[in-house]
């Protein structure tokens, strides 16, 4: 299959680079168009014309795009010529005032994939053919590394921004009680210092190798099976993950098997102390999580699901 991808680079997460690699490993040919970059060079009109010409010249058989990274009018034209799949890795709370536009784009997609299950029905009620997909890791980017420098070593590490009051409160408490290293932008406004404002794949591997515990906290912990792609990246790098519970998390993970979770700040701190005192158990859980992430939840597995889903969708008889 010839797959056209329209999405930004996303240097921190590199989601679409990993998807491109995964599609190609499955034997598909890909064309990745960064429309926003084209637009900055050519202007909207010429960038749109160039994108359309590139996709048709490539003889695209499937368009895979992120959220609003393609002009809406172009998307409407393209969907008449090829199957269209939208990928969206945020929750409604995280979307904010962009939600209505996300829904507008989602309605044009043959399938819209969400990385949370709880909001699938909400999108479907709004006329979007939404489906749940888990997220994943990349075997090259997310892997174990051995020795790391002292800058990466800590009892606890957190990678992310101070996006919620609950997250800030918890991080402050952990900082008081443990050797914590923060990685991300914006913490200085809360009197906390991060080691670095930005983390890329090479640094992510080292953080997971150097920290005894990597902490997870999602923007909205009330949504069924909604959690950051850092869950898969951490497991894929061999890190031990202690994360805030979200509904139905036990459907994907065994508590104390591949990772562990908490439901309050006090429980989080108790768990941190427990796992600092039980090295062998912590390392065993991290190893089990690593094998799960790479065995069942890679980007290649996601790419295969997307292609299989859309193939079945196109073969389904009209009602």
Nearest to 51 by CA among 37, 33, 68, 67: 33
**Whole-number pLDDT of residue 98:** 86
Cβ atoms of 18 and 299 closer than 8 Å? yes
**Whole-number pLDDT of residue 59:** 97
pTM for the whole structure? 0.93
Tell me the fold of 2-136+298-315. Rossmann fold (3.40.50)
Distance CA 214, CA 291 (A): 17
Residue in this structure with the two tokens 């609003």, named with its chain if needed = 68
**Whole-number pLDDT of residue 68:** 82
Distances in whole angstroms, Cα of residue 299 to Cα of each of 20, 51, 121, 163: 9, 25, 24, 26
Torsion on CA atoms 134, 12, 64, 42, rounded to nearest 10: 160
Tens place of pLDDT per residue across the chain (319 aa)? 999 999 998 878 899 999 999 999 999 999 999 999 999 999 999 999 999 999 999 999 999 999 889 999 999 999 999 999 999 988 888 777 889 999 999 999 999 999 999 999 999 999 999 999 999 999 999 999 998 999 999 999 999 999 899 999 999 999 999 999 999 999 999 999 999 999 999 999 999 999 999 999 988 899 999 998 999 999 999 999 999 999 999 999 999 999 999 999 999 999 999 999 999 999 999 999 999 999 999 999 999 999 999 988 777 544 3
Distance CA 11, CA 209 (A): 21
* List of E strands, the chain: 2-6, 29-33, 62-66, 84-88, 111-114, 130-132, 154-159, 180-183, 194-196, 211-216, 241-244, 260-262
HSE-up of residue 200 (Cα within 13 Å, Cβ side): 5
Distance CA 227, CA 236 (A): 15
Location of each CATH 3.40.50.2000 domain in the chain: 2-136+298-315, 150-296
Mapping DSSP to helix (H, G, I), strand (E, B) and coil, where does residue 43 land? Answer: coil
Q: Is the dihedral of CA 107, 111, 112, 114 positive or negative?
A: positive
**Whole-number pLDDT of residue 318:** 42
HSE-up of residue 22 (Cα within 13 Å, Cβ side): 26
**Residue 294 token pair:** 């790479």
Distance CA 318, CA 279 (A): 57
**Whole-number pLDDT of residue 319:** 36
Superfamily of domain 150-296: Glycogen Phosphorylase B; (3.40.50.2000)
- φ, ψ for residue 114 (rounded to 5)? -115, 140
């Amino acid at each position: 299959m010839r797959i056209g991808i329209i999405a930004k680079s996303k240097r921190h997460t590199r989601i679409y680079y990993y998807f491109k690699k995964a599609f190609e490993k499955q034997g598909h040919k890909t064309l990745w168009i960064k429309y926003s970059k084209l637009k900055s060079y050519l202007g909207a009109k010429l960038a749109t014309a160039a994108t359309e010409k590139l996709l048709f010249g490539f003889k695209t058989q499937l368009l895979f795009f992120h959220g609003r990274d393609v002009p809406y009018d172009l998307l409407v034209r393209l969907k008449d010529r090829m199957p269209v799949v939208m990928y969206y890795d945020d929750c409604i709370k995280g979307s904010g005032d962009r939600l209505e536009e996300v829904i507008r784009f989602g309605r044009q997609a043959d399938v819209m994939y969400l990385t949370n299950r709880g909001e699938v029905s909400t999108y479907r009620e709004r006329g979007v053919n939404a489906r749940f997909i888990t997220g994943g890791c990349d075997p090259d980017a997310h892997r174990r590394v051995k020795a790391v420098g002292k800058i990466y070593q800590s009892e606890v590490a957190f990678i992310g921004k101070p996006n919620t009051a609950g997250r800030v409160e918890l991080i402050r408490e952990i900082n008081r009680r443990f050797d914590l290293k923060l990685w991300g932008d914006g913490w200085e406004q809360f009197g906390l210092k991060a080691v670095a404002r930005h983390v890329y794949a090479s640094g992510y591997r080292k953080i997971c190798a150097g920290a005894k515990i990597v902490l997870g906290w999602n923007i909205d912990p009330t949504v069924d099976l909604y959690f950051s792609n850092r869950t898969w990246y951490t497991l894929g790098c061999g890190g031990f993950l202690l994360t805030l519970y979200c509904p139905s998390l036990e459907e994907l993970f065994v508590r104390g098997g591949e990772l562990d979770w908490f439901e309050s700040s006090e429980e989080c701190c108790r768990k941190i102390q427990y796992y600092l005192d039980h090295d062998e158990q912590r390392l065993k859980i991290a190893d089990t999580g690593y094998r799960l992430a790479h065995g069942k939840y890679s980007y290649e597995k996601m790419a295969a699901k997307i292609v299989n889903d859309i193939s079945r969708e196109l073969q389904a008889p009209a009602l």
